Amino acid sequence: MAALDPLPELMVEPIVRAALLEDLGRAGDITTDAVVPAGHVSRLVLAARQDGVVAGLDCARLAFRLLNPDVRFTPVVADGARVAPGTVLAEVEGPSRALLTGERTGLNLACRLSGIATATASLADAVAGHKAQIVCTRKTTPGLRALEKYAVRAGGGANHRFGLDDAVLVKDNHVAIAGSVAEAVRRVRARAGHMVKVEVEVDTLVQLEELLTLGADAVLLDNMTPATLAEAVRMVGGRMLTEASGRVNRETAPAIAASGVDLISVGWLTHSAPILDIGLDWVG
């Protein structure tokens, strides 16, 4: 796995700030402000409670430091690390009010992103030995796309397009409205710039055969059996990238990868992956 570059703080900070404001509401943390003296200081640790892959430690750090810059957040592991239950992920020390007020926001984001990274790693492990790479989709939580796609990278996967504007993906409804794969591709070629890559979704080998006469950068082979995928890969013959999607899980992924496809896209990585349980424990 290549070194994981962290997201720029400029991108992460507005997301964390918005989450804190949502939690603070109109009156702030009325429980902590009542119970904890203003000058009180605590030491806590973030610790994994399950096996998994870590992502989102910067979100936790910002959740505390935006509330009080005097908080000291010291990572013990890096995003992308595989951890066991009880592994300390980071040590946190500073004003107790900031630590308790920021706890849920920091954990919500770290648990969510670590869950995505863990799910991605599980699928990446399942296809190890094949050339296929696990990629995500646009089925992300509104407002969290950059973070969730980062978490996929932390788990050893790669990213599909980030939005509607950075690549063309002609899907079944586009084809239905255009009347054919050929007409949809013709319209795209007339509109998209020369730097824009074009991918076309096909459901059948007949559609694939039509696409091969037109040319594209990639083909999305949707909901095909492993045997049909293998035939599609043979037909393409390396002329474009092949991407499989549909019914992908840890049990089906090895057979899909064995078909020879280049990419396997998985929507549930970002819309349904369970969180990784991470706790914030008081140590003094």
Verify whether residue 148 is a known catalytic residue: no
The pLDDT, as a whole number, for residue 174 is 97
Beta-carbon count within 10 A of 240 CB: 18
Indicate the average pLDDT of the chain. 97
From the candidates 13, 222, 231, 277, give the one annotated as an active-site residue. Answer: 222
pLDDT band at 2 (very low <50, low <70, confident <90, very high): low
Task: Tell me the average pLDDT across 241-257.
Answer: 97
Task: Tell me the average pLDDT across 211-233.
Answer: 97
Does the pLDDT value for residue 1 go beyond 80?
Answer: no
pLDDT band at 284 (very low <50, low <70, confident <90, very high): confident
The pLDDT, as a whole number, for residue 3 is 78
pLDDT band at 129 (very low <50, low <70, confident <90, very high): very high
Alpha-carbon span 233 to 131, nearest angstrom:
13
HEC assignment per residue over 5-44: CCCCHHHHHHHHHHHHHHHHCCCCCHHHHHHCCCCCEEEE
From the candidates 93, 201, 243, 262, give the one annotated as an active-site residue. Answer: 201
For 163-210, write each residue's pLDDT tens digit.
999 999 999 999 999 999 999 999 999 999 899 999 999 999 999 999
Does the pLDDT value for residue 244 go beyond 70?
Answer: yes
Strand 218-222 vs strand 198-202: parallel, antiparallel, or unpaired?
A: parallel
Verify whether residue 222 is a known catalytic residue: yes
Verify whether residue 139 is a known catalytic residue: yes
Verify whether residue 161 is a known catalytic residue: no
pLDDT band at 39 (very low <50, low <70, confident <90, very high): very high
The pLDDT, as a whole number, for residue 154 is 98
From the candidates 104, 138, 161, 197, give the one annotated as an active-site residue. Answer: 104
**Inter-residue contact 32 to 101 (CB < 8 Å):** yes
The pLDDT, as a whole number, for residue 36 is 98
Verify whether residue 65 is a known catalytic residue: no
